Every structure is written in C-alpha cells, then in structure tokens.
C-alpha cells in the first residue's frame, strides 16, 4: 500500500516545478504589463516630460553601471560581495571635490580646454586613488580570509565599509560637501521645459567607451583571460602558472578605478557628495548587478540602465503617491524579487556553487 502511494506521488512531484515555473512566468508577465501600461499612460499624457525623465534615467544608469561593474568583476573572480565597494566610490567623489574644487578651482567659468584638462587630471587622480584603495582592502582584509567560510569575508567587507566611510566623515565632515558646477551649464536642448545640459551628455559619453574597453580587455588581453581562468577554477589556474594573487589584485584595482571614475562623473553631474553616499548608491549598483546577472559584464550594464530608468521614472512621473519617498522601497523590492524568483539575473546562467 505504501509503495502504491509513493508511486502515485511521483508524477505530482514531477509536475510541481513546471507549475511553479509557469506561475512565476505568469506573475512576471502581469507585473511587466502593468508597468508598461503605466509608462504608456504617462507617455501619452506628457510626452515631453516622459522624454526628459528618460534622459535623466539614462544618465543615472551610466553612473550606476560603472559602480555595478566593480561589484560584478569582484564577485565573478572570487564570489565575494564587496560591500565596501560603494564606499570606495564615495572616496572617488571626495577626491573629485579635493582635486577639482580645492586644488584646481574648477567652477565652470574656465574655457573648454582648461576644464577638459582639469577634469582629465581629476579623473586620473580619482581612478588611481580608488584603485589603490580597493587593492589595499583586498590585500589587508580579504586575502587571508579567501579559504575561510563565506560569512567571514562578508562580515569583513561590512566592517571595512563602516571604517572607510567614518574616515571620510572625519576628514570631510558629516554634512554635504561639493564643488558647484565644474562643467559649463550651457544647455544642449530642452524637453518639457527641462534643459539637457552638457554635463549630462558627458556622463554618457565617458561611460560607454569605458564599458566597451573593459569588455574588450577582459575578452582579448592576456590579463583578462587570466581573470576569466581564475574565475572558472582558481586551483587549476594556479597549476597552469597563473599568479592568482596578482590577478585578483588587478581585478580589485580595475574595479576601484571604475568606482573612482563614477565618483568624478557623479560630482560633475550632482555637484555634491556626503560621507554616507556610498551606502545607498552602492546598494542601487549592487541591485543593478544582481538584476542583470552578477558576474556578467553586459548584465551589469543592462541592470544599471534599468535601475537608472526605474528610479528616474519613479521620481519624475506621476502616480498615486509621492515618488521620491518610494524610490528605495521600489529598488529593494526588485532586489528581493530577483533573488527569490531569478537569482541568476536577466543575462546570467545558473551555476553550481564552487567547492
């Protein structure tokens, strides 16, 4: 009798995963349909405002993309969620304030050549500083915990995050600090009465080449191939003669440099920063990396653009409640839904845990 019951249960158990998958797909289609309907209504009601908000979302998404790539590079090679990465980005904004504002005195009144040269110097300083900071964090806080249980480096990352954010608060204060408009405030065009400035275009024009160069570097250079090999199998890479420690350090340096570049673009666009900026923006960028598929470069860029558009639409379009107050809730709800229903992200593929 017991045997017959177990035989009868087997077909039911076999069908359950399919039913769960169909239900998840149906709920996803329903949710996306509601969002698409809401966007369509706003597009019809106020097309100029919709276009303006979309441009804002693309600009914000470009900044998120540079930070999200740092998360995905580090996770892809050692499967560590570097929660201190957002604070490395915050230090990039602080270096921008120091170099561009205090040392070079950029305020938008200089001619184009002087402004471009000053921004280039600021960009190099921020990228070098943040790359060195991120590499130092890996060397001091993570390397000795590489073979420890996964909870140990995760706690270490949270501790480092608090440490470097508090150091920034001690150096720059607990309030906002900024530089004013580094770029000239000339508008390129206007949509719905909202100007689209040159500094907004600059963010996109710098981000896109950086993303393309990074993807080319990872795929085609010797160091990039070493990174991919270490991400695939660390022990096999070591036996093949790859310097694993050096490869991981290079990965952290590149991730930190990207965070530094994002810091320069952020201050150029928003003109101010704060010691705890890295917490919120870091979580947004982390959500973008998870949404696109953490460990996947194209996925991180796609997820960042989607998060940028989502936050801009939520803040700038009309709906039943004040948009800005709900932005963090919306983003974190997306993070929870992705982790529950599609943890591999939009472009990622399910992988077995590394032994």
What SS3 state is found at 283?
helix
- DSSP-derived 3-state class of residue 273: strand
State both tokens at 97. Answer: 């304030």
CA dist 26 and 151 (Å) reads 35
C-beta separation of 307 from 284 below 8 A: yes
For each of the chain's 355 residues, which pLDDT tens digit applies? 445 555 455 555 556 667 766 776 777 677 778 778 878 888 788 788 888 888 889 999 999 999 999 999 999 888 888 999 999 999 999 999 999 988 888 877 777 788 889 999 999 999 999 999 999 999 999 998 888 888 888 899 999 999 999 999 999 999 999 887 887 666 666 665 666 777 788 888 888 888 888 889 988 889 888 988 888 888 888 888 889 999 999 999 999 999 999 999 999 988 899 999 998 899 899 999 998 888 888 889 999 999 999 888 888 776 644 445 677 888 888 888 888 777 888 886 655 444 3
**Coil, strand or helix: which one is 174?**
coil
- The DSSP string of 43-79 is HHH-HHHHHHHHHHHHHHHHHHHHHHHHHHHHHHHH-
Strands (E), the chain: 177-178, 187-191, 194-197, 272-273
Q: Note the pTM of the prediction, 2 decimals.
A: 0.86
């Amino acid at each position: 009798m017991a045997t017959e019951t177990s035989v009868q249960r087997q077909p039911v158990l076999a069908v359950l995963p399919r039913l769960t998958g169909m239900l998840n797909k149906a709920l996803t289609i329903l949710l996306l349909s509601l969002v698409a309907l809401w966007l369509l209504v706003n597009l019809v009601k106020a097309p100029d405002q919709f276009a303006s908000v979309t441009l804002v979302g693309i600009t914000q998404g470009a900044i998120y993309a540079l930070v999200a790539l740092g998360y995905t590079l580090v996770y892809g090679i050692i499967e560590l969620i570097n929660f201190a990465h957002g604070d490395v980005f915050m230090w990039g904004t602080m270096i921008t304030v120091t170099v561009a504002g205090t040392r070079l005195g950029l305020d938008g009144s200089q001619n184009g050549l002087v402004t471009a040269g000053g921004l280039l110097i600021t960009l190099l300083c921020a990228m070098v500083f943040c790359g060195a900071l991120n590499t130092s964090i890996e060397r001091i806080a993570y390397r000795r915990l590489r073979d420890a249980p996964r909870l140990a480096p995760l706690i270490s990352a949270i501790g480092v995050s608090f440490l470097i954010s508090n150091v920034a608060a001690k150096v720059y204060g607990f309030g906002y600090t900024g530089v004013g408009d580094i770029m000239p405030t000339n508008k390129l065009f206007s949509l719905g009465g909202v100007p689209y400035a040159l500094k907004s275009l600059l963010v996109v024009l710098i981000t896109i080449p950086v993303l393309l160069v990074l993807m080319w570097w990872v795929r085609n250079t010797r160091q990039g191939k070493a990174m991919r090999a270490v991400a695939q199998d660390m022990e096999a890479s070591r036996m093949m003669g790859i310097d694993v420690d050096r490869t991981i350090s290079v990965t952290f340096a590149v991730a930190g440099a990207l965070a530094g570049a994002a810091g320069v673009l952020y201050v150029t666009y928003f003109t101010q920063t704060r010691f705890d900026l890295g917490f919120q923006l870091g979580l947004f960028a982390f959500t973008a990396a998870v949404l696109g598929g953490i460990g996947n470069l194209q996925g991180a860029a796609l997820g960042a653009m989607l998060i940028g558009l989502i936050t801009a639409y939520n803040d700038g379009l009309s709906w039943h409640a004040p948009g800005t107050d709900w932005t963090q809730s919306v983003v974190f709800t997306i993070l929870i839904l992705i982790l529950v229903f599609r943890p591999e992200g939009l472009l990622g593929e399910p992988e077995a845990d590394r032994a």
